[in-house]
A = this chain, B = another copy of it.
Amino acid sequence: MANFQKLTSRAEDYSKWYNELVVKADLAEQSAVRGCMVIKPYGYAIWEKIQAELDRRFKETGHVNAYFPLLIPKSFLSREAEHVEGFAKECAVVTHHRLKNDPDGKGVIVDPDAKLEEELIIRPTSETIIWSTYKNWISSYRDLPILCNQWANVMRWEMRTRLFLRTAEFLWQEGHTAHATKEEAIAEAKKMLNVYAEFAENVMAIPVLKGVKSPNERFAGALDTYCIEAMMQDGKALQAGTSHFLGQNFAKSFDVQFLSKENKYEYVWATSWGVSTRLMGALIMTHSDDNGLVLPPHLAPIQVVIVPIFKKHDDLDRLLVKLDPLAEALKALGIRVKVDTSDKQTPGYKFADYELKGVPVRLAMGGRDLENNTIEIARRDTLTKETVSFDGIVEHVAQMLEQIQQNIYQKALNFRLENTREVNSYEEFKEEIKKGGFLLCHWDGTVETEEKIKEETKATIRCIPSRENIIAKGNNTIFEEGKCMVTGKPSKQRVVFAIAY
């Protein structure tokens, strides 16, 4: 049963609004296991659409899926120095393989005789187990490239968790590719970033900034991390996807060499790239409002709900004579439609529920509409409704879905542009960062300066943006040289600072 106690408003408490919305809209909930979530059917249906759209794009770009083990020998992690540094502190460790009856009680205890010789780690990411496998798959340049993706669960033992945004277990995809040359690997990492960006913008309707991470924010073990960054409605940044150029780090750690065309042994070049159920958090926080979810039509499990308004079953039957063929006509266009004929809830209850669930278009028809050959059509994004002629309603709905998709993207882009500004002194920065948004600043390129800023303001460099983005409104000086706002040392271009999720 949906709970129609009013949502906390975003203005009142953004964080509380998010937490309530995730639960009330039946997307996910906390489980009995600390930090692990249950993804409920409605939330999972959205994730399935995300998966399908991404999977199609991966296959169109030549990738295949495979599956690698959940557990990783502890020693594998240590092979790549930065990698283990990055993940050791949040590893779930399997130490035993059997339980036995508690001789002193009713329950079960861990059987001390079933201790593993070497502990196993639940994968926080799979570079190590995959590169230990690739060693057997690669001997010659003929075996390259390898373009594998995996859909899997991973585990990172986070101390402070939030549904979708930061959970101990999460679902994701991780691509792991192997190449004969550095250039090819870099091109692959960039290609997949573009796949993510296109997907985020066209399917999720989330505008993203493309760029590269500063050394401090790189993936543990990568030479370069490309990323897409989105702005949430509270002005905070959310990293929506990353694609890593791993150089030869993992090939060297797992001794993966190939015989080149020139008959020389060389280490293989690698990339990895991933997006996770965190995208669900980005989706919610980009579009939704104080009435509930707002879903982009391309991802909505129900795109159109049709609600007949009736008191007696005879009335319903008369309405369905028109509404059932309408639903069929919409389905024939590939539109996901639900006709809600339940008599357990009132129309008012249904309207509020579908609003909370973010169904993009709602159609309602009652006795008077039937007489007048009209139907009421309501848009979730603008919360507007109008009564229109029943004739031509199919085309009207199809167009409205496309309009909603465009409109929520444009709205989010405008919001980002309005909340992106150039800042030229550190004094100004310290004030401005409190207002949220993306701040475009000159930075001297050092880890020290970045860390000082983070310590003093909690802001981090979200990315060093590439030129292909629309970053700020009007004339701006993003790609001009300047001086670091903190140290005054020279800077080649501005970078994007923000407080991040």
**Could you tell me if A91 and B95 are in contact, using CB atoms closer than 8 angstroms?**
no
A400: CB under 8 A from chain B? no
Cα-based distance from A176 to B48 in the complex (angstroms): 19
A92: CB under 8 A from chain B? yes
Which of A92-111 touch B at CB < 8 Å?
92-101, 106-108, 110
Interfacial chain B residues near A476, Cβ < 8 Å: none
Interfacial chain B residues near A5, Cβ < 8 Å: none
Interfacial chain B residues near A122, Cβ < 8 Å: 70, 94, 122
Cα-based distance from A154 to B20 in the complex (angstroms): 31
**Could you tell me if A99 and B95 are in contact, using CB atoms closer than 8 angstroms?**
no
Nearest-Cβ distance from residue A105 to partner chain B, whole angstroms: 10
Q: Choose the segment among A36-44, A441-449, A488-496 that binds chain B (4+ C-beta atoms closer than 8 Å).
A: A36-44
Q: Of A29, A47, A89, which is in contact with the most chain B CB atoms at under 10 Å from its CB?
A: A89
Cα-based distance from A395 to B66 in the complex (angstroms): 33
Cα-based distance from A152 to B110 in the complex (angstroms): 24
What does the 1/0 interface line of A146-176 toward B look like (CB < 8 Å)? Answer: 0010001101010000000000010100000
Cα-based distance from A155 to B92 in the complex (angstroms): 15
Instruction: Select which of B98, B129, B132 is within 8 A of A91 by beta carbon.
Output: B98
- Would you call the interface of chain A mostly helix, strand, loop, or mixed? mixed
Cα-based distance from A129 to B152 in the complex (angstroms): 19
What does the 1/0 interface line of A444-488 toward B look like (CB < 8 Å)? Answer: 000000000000000000000000000000000000000000000
Interfacial chain B residues near A370, Cβ < 8 Å: none
Number of interface residues of A (CB under 8 A): 68
Cα-based distance from A36 to B64 in the complex (angstroms): 20
Q: Choose the segment among A72-80, A320-328, A379-387, A404-412 that binds chain B (4+ C-beta atoms closer than 8 Å).
A: A72-80
**Could you tell me if A75 and B107 are in contact, using CB atoms closer than 8 angstroms?**
yes
**Could you tell me if A33 and B98 are in contact, using CB atoms closer than 8 angstroms?**
no
Interfacial chain B residues near A78, Cβ < 8 Å: 106-108
Which of A56-83 touch B at CB < 8 Å?
64-78
Interfacial chain B residues near A157, Cβ < 8 Å: 97-98
Instruction: Select which of B69, B100, B139, B152 is within 8 A of A37 by beta carbon.
Output: B69
Copies of this protein in the complex: 2
Nearest-Cβ distance from residue A6 to partner chain B, whole angstroms: 22
Cα-based distance from A456 to B77 in the complex (angstroms): 48
Which of A1-59 touch B at CB < 8 Å?
1, 29, 31-33, 36-41, 44-45, 47-48
Interfacial chain B residues near A142, Cβ < 8 Å: 1, 344
Interfacial chain B residues near A71, Cβ < 8 Å: 33, 36, 92, 169
Interfacial chain B residues near A372, Cβ < 8 Å: none
**Could you tell me if B84 and A91 are in contact, using CB atoms closer than 8 angstroms?**
no
**Could you tell me if A143 and B1 are in contact, using CB atoms closer than 8 angstroms?**
yes
A263: CB under 8 A from chain B? no
Closest Cβ neighbor of A88 among chain B residues: B99
Instruction: Select which of B65, B95, B97 is within 8 A of A45 by beta carbon.
Output: B65
A120: CB under 8 A from chain B? yes
**Could you tell me if A136 and B29 are in contact, using CB atoms closer than 8 angstroms?**
yes
Q: Of A1, A64, A66, A75, which is in contact with the most chain B CB atoms at under 10 Å from its CB?
A: A66
Instruction: Select which of B36, B93, B99 is within 8 A of A70 by beta carbon.
Output: B36
Nearest-Cβ distance from residue A121 to partner chain B, whole angstroms: 7
A418: CB under 8 A from chain B? no
Closest 5 CB pairs of A and B: A36-B69, A41-B64, A88-B99, A39-B67, A97-B157
| Chain A interfacial positions (CB closer than 8 Å to B) | 1, 29, 31-33, 36-41, 44-45, 47-48, 64-78, 84, 88-101, 106-108, 110, 119-122, 129, 132-133, 136, 139, 142-143, 148, 152-153, 155, 157, 169, 171, 344
12 A-B pairs whose Cβ atoms sit less than 8 Å apart in the complex: A31-B133, A32-B132, A33-B120, A71-B92, A74-B107, A77-B108, A88-B108, A89-B98, A91-B99, A94-B94, A97-B157, A122-B122
Contacts A29-B133, A45-B65, A93-B99 supplied; 8 other A-B pairs, CB < 8 Å = A1-B139, A33-B69, A38-B66, A41-B66, A44-B66, A90-B97, A90-B98, A93-B97
